[in-house]
């Protein structure tokens, strides 16, 4: 039997707890569908800084390079927020990893499940038909431009994009739109930013290759408003790194909880799957965090990395069933009820 090698990078905070549940579910997939996984765990984030002084150690990079796919939990530790001047930060591990593995396209689907409507802050009638996917550029823009201080009084961050960086993710977004409702929205700030004008220009040129796709443009401030007032209009959203970071947290709130949204990060040779949420340090070690975003990220891995759509659907179906039957963690449960992280993982694994 072919063995898939999976690098597990649980990271910080609730990362290890939700990762354990994803592994449980993958093992259930293995038993049910006759698949075999070989896991190798590696350090990342604050945990890696504490152990070896580097948030993305060389050893971790080698394990990722040798894997068929990477599953990533979360990084971050509030101890590093106390002193904003402190040099090394856990998040740098995530950025180094994205850059070194060439993961330029971050794909974040947002679906509003009927059973979770009451968790959304939006009125239920606005949630009808909400089903969109954000393509967030992940290795350029403000995150990776030159930054620094100008004496003690000033500071700067630079936003740079090349046509090639725009083109490669835009093609993925166009192709995805063709397989969905055929609508692509480029979100930018081209009334102000030169990089945004380059994005518009490049994406407009590419449109000729995808005649079936209806392309439109929105300024990011307007997009934020539309995501709240009219989220069902969106199909595929394409945007640069920082705008995508901000809008996908907004999208997660619309969907009802940060705890349910998965993501895939794709590149030319490697791929990584991680929940949209962060390390949720307040919940660390308490067995209360929602493991579903991590479990659905594993489902995206089965689909995107291995092409196992039936297996991925089984995992998605089991998660949806847990919503429908109310077997959920406290973030999704009415009046503070709710099951533990591991109970929800067990429940979902048992239904595969």
Task: Please list the active-site residues.
Answer: 143, 189, 221, 245, 249
Query: CB of 290: closest distance to ligand IPM in angstroms?
Result: 17
Spatial distance between the Cα atoms of 91 and 87, rounded to a whole number of angstroms:
12
E strand or H helix that includes residue 53: none
Q: Which stretch binds Mg ion (CB under 5 A): 135-143, 228-236, 243-251, 294-302?
A: 243-251
Phi, psi of 112 (to 5 degrees): -100, 100
Phi, psi of 31 (to 5 degrees): -65, -45
Residues in CB range of 75: below 8 A, 6 or more apart: 11, 12, 15, 44, 45, 46, 55, 90, 91, 93, 94, 278, 279
Question: Residues in the site for ligand IPM, rule: CB under 6 A?
Answer: 76, 91, 94, 245, 278
Select 7 or 94, whichever has its Cβ closest to ligand IPM.
94
Select 21 or 274, whichever has its Cβ closest to Mg ion.
274
Query: CB of 275: closest distance to ligand IPM in angstroms?
Result: 9
Query: CB of 249: closest distance to ligand IPM in angstroms?
Result: 7
Select 94 or 173, whichever has its Cβ closest to ligand IPM.
94
Choosing among Mg ion, ligand IPM, none, which partner's interface includes residue 93 (Cβ < 5 to 8 Å by kind)? none
Spatial distance between the Cα atoms of 175 and 42, rounded to a whole number of angstroms:
34
Query: CB of 300: closest distance to ligand IPM in angstroms?
Result: 14
Spatial distance between the Cα atoms of 132 and 232, rounded to a whole number of angstroms:
8
Select 80 or 347, whichever has its Cβ closest to ligand IPM.
80
Residue 188 CB-density burial (10 A; 0-12 exposed, 13-18 middle, 19+ buried) = buried
- DSSP code of 45? T
Choosing among ligand IPM, Mg ion, none, which partner's interface includes residue 13 (Cβ < 5 to 8 Å by kind)? none
Select 43 or 314, whichever has its Cβ closest to ligand IPM.
43
Query: CB of 182: closest distance to Mg ion in angstroms?
Result: 28
Choosing from 245, 274, 303, 311, the residue that interacts with Mg ion (CB under 5 A) is: 245
Q: Which stretch binds Mg ion (CB under 5 A): 18-26, 84-92, 138-146, 244-252?
A: 244-252
Choosing among Mg ion, ligand IPM, none, which partner's interface includes residue 15 (Cβ < 5 to 8 Å by kind)? none
- Backbone Cα Rg of the chain: 20
The two beta strands, 262-266 and 105-111, are antiparallel
Choosing among Mg ion, ligand IPM, none, which partner's interface includes residue 278 (Cβ < 5 to 8 Å by kind)? ligand IPM
Query: CB of 258: closest distance to Mg ion in angstroms?
Result: 10
Neighbours of 214 (CB within 10 A): 14
Query: CB of 283: closest distance to ligand IPM in angstroms?
Result: 16
Q: Which residue is nearest to ligand IPM (CB)?
A: 91
Select 83 or 191, whichever has its Cβ closest to ligand IPM.
83
Binding mask 186-225 for Mg ion (x = CB under 5 A): ----------------------------------------
Nearest to 328 by CA among 259, 277, 243, 275: 259
DSSP-derived secondary structure for 261-323: -EEEEE-SS-EEEEESS---GGGTTSS-S--HHHHHHHHHIIIIIT--HHHHHHHHHHHHHHH
Residues in CB range of 152: below 8 A, 6 or more apart: none
Select 247 or 318, whichever has its Cβ closest to ligand IPM.
247
Residues lying near Mg ion in the complex (CB under 5 A): 245
């Amino acid at each position: 039997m072919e063995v898939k090698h999976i690098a597990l990078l649980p990271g910080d905070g609730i990362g290890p707890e939700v990762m354990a549940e994803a592994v449980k579910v993958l093992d259930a997939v293995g038993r049910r569908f006759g698949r075999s996984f070989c896991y190798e765990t590696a350090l990342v984030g604050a945990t890696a800084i504490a152990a070896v002084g580097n948030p993305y150690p060389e050893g971790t990079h080698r394990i990722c390079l040798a894997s068929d796919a990477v599953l990533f939990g979360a990084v971050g530790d509030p101890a590093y927020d106390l002193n904003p001047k402190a040099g090394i930060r856990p998040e740098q591990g995530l950025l180094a990893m994205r850059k070194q593995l060439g993961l330029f396209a971050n794909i974040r689907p947002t679906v509003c499940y009927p059973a979770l409507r009451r968790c959304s802050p939006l009125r239920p009638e606005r949630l009808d038909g909400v089903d969109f996917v954000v393509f967030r550029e992940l290795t350029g823009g403000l995150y990776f431009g030159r930054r620094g201080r100008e004496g003690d009084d000033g500071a700067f961050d630079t936003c740079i994009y090349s046509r090639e960086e725009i083109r490669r993710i835009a093609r993925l977004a166009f192709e995805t739109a063709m397989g969905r409702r055929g609508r692509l929205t480029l979100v930018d700030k081209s009334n102000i930013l030169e990089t945004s004008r380059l994005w518009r220009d490049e994406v407009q040129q590419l449109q000729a290759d995808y005649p079936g796709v209806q392309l439109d443009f929105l300024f990011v401030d307007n997009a934020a408003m539309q995501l709240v007032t009219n989220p069902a209009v969106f199909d595929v959203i394409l945007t640069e790194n920082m705008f995508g970071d901000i809008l996908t947290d907004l999208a997660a709130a619309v969907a009802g909880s940060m705890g349910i949204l998965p993501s895939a990060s794709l590149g030319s040779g490697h791929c990584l799957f991680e929940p949209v949420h962060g390390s949720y340090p307040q919940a660390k070690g308490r067995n209360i965090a929602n493991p579903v975003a991590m479990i659905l990220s594993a489902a995206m891995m089965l689909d995107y990395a291995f092409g196992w759509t039936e297996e991925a659907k089984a995992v998605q179906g089991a998660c949806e069933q847990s919503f429908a039957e109310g077997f959920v963690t406290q973030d999704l449960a009415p009046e503070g009820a709710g099951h533990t992280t591991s109970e929800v993982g067990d429940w979902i694994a048992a239904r595969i």
